[in-house]
Amino acid sequence: MKRKIFIALLASASLAYACQQGANKGETGETTSDSTEQQKAFDAVIDGKDVKLYALKNDRLHVTLTNYGARLVSLNVKGKEDKQTDVILGYDTADEFKQNASNYYGAIVGRYGNRIGNATFTVNGTTYELEKNNGENSLHGGTNGVYNKVWDVEDASNTAITLAYTSPDGEAGYPGTVTMKVTYSLTDEGGLVIDYEGSTDKETVLNLTNHAYFNLNGEGDSTILDHELQIDADAITEVNETLIPTGKSLPVDGTAFDFRKPQTIGSRIDTDNEQLKVGKGYDHNFELVKGEGFRKVASVYAPKTGIEMQILTTEPGLQFYSGNFMTDSDPKGKEGKGYPFRSAFCLETQHFPDSPNQPSFPSTVLKPGEQYTSKTEYRFFVK
């Protein structure tokens, strides 16, 4: 398959990118002689496959990403006075992302994003044992999740890139050979769109999402508690002490989980609430108000920078995580910046956690001949 990969110049980060032309699928091509140190820092080989840094750019957004984990590396947004702000956490090199893969920064996670209780599920009468990487549970696909794999760049332009990965039957314990694709694209309206596709040759489960850690004040800022959050959800999914759903929905009305009208993240995070104690803050699936197709489900605003992010999706759930397990001792991030307690949040569009073991939840079963599709957009404005 012929493709042309254009890697744009990202001036604000003083990066020079490579142009790749006429390469076959899976090849990386040659880089130009003006490659910068940051680009070179992503010229790596992981599991015998080449890793590179790529870029997307338009008048509103500047994005860099890597094919290791199909992950976002930076997301620069214009804030007040047109100041460029990188709003996602990450690292400066591919090796750092590999060494700290369990942080999931910016990565596509799966085969099953979020948790599966007791690391087991049954489909079509067969019980499958998954990798346990979260106590007795499996999280984000286990240690061999797709976040820890090198994806192939299938097609790209200056505003879009498609990455593909084929997960073999039995990988991380999951049945079926699953072929998946993720396309990142920029819109003229300030949106970063993520389109997911997948197919299988054996009945399985699939639930992909992106695990970007956001701070709209800029990555490296010390807190997200001043951000104003709104989520279109009347209920959350109750979880037990290991953050596995009990199968019960809890109404948000009158609780610290009511974000139907904008509230600062920090205003009620320390409320005496059993679910907040279990999660050490917010780490819950919000059951989105049902709507048809692709629709707006949430927004976040940072007064400090004036940046507002809207979330649009086709998914029924949104995992809101308020950075409760981040610590001062975590590995340093970009340019040596620390990422301390609650200095980032995640809003992961998804089907519900542990759906394979919860018959009342929206199904994540994928059968041969069916096509898995999902779409999410993070759309940015300045207020």
Catalytic position from the list 62, 96, 171, 211: 211
Catalytic position from the list 219, 287, 348, 377: 348
372 marked as binding residue: no
Residue with tokens 């797709």: 146
- The per-residue b/e assignment along 99-123, b for 16 or more CB within 10 angstroms, e otherwise, is eebebbbbbbbbbbbbbbbbbbbeb
Q: Taking the CB of residue 129, how many other CB atoms lie within 10 A of it?
A: 11
Distances (CA, A) of 65 to 147, 151, 216, 230, 313: 13, 12, 18, 28, 21
Name every residue whose Cβ is closer than 8 Å to that of residue 177 and which is 6 or more positions away in sequence. Answer: 166, 167, 168, 169, 200, 201, 202
213 marked as binding residue: yes
For residue 348, give the DSSP letter.
Answer: E
114 marked as binding residue: yes
Distances (CA, A) of 357 to 151, 173, 287, 361: 29, 16, 17, 9
Known catalytic residue at 219: no
Interatomic CA distance for residues 72 and 212, integer angstroms: 7
Residue with tokens 């020079």: 16
342 marked as binding residue: no
- Whether the CB-CB separation of 353 and 319 falls below 8 Å is answered with yes
Known catalytic residue at 227: no
351 marked as binding residue: no
Q: Is the peptide bond before 379 cis (omega within 30 degrees of 0)?
A: no
* Backbone angle region of 82, left / alpha / beta, with phi > 0 → left and psi within -120 to 50 → alpha: left
Interatomic CA distance for residues 169 and 48, integer angstroms: 20
65: β partners: 54, 72
Interatomic CA distance for residues 73 and 79, integer angstroms: 19
Nearest-CA neighbor of 240 among 357, 141, 344? 357
Interatomic CA distance for residues 159 and 192, integer angstroms: 10
283 marked as binding residue: yes
Q: Which residues are designated catalytic?
A: 211, 348
Annotated binding site: 114-115, 211-213, 283
Detail the residues annotated as belonging to a binding site for beta-D-galactose.
114-115, 211-213, 283
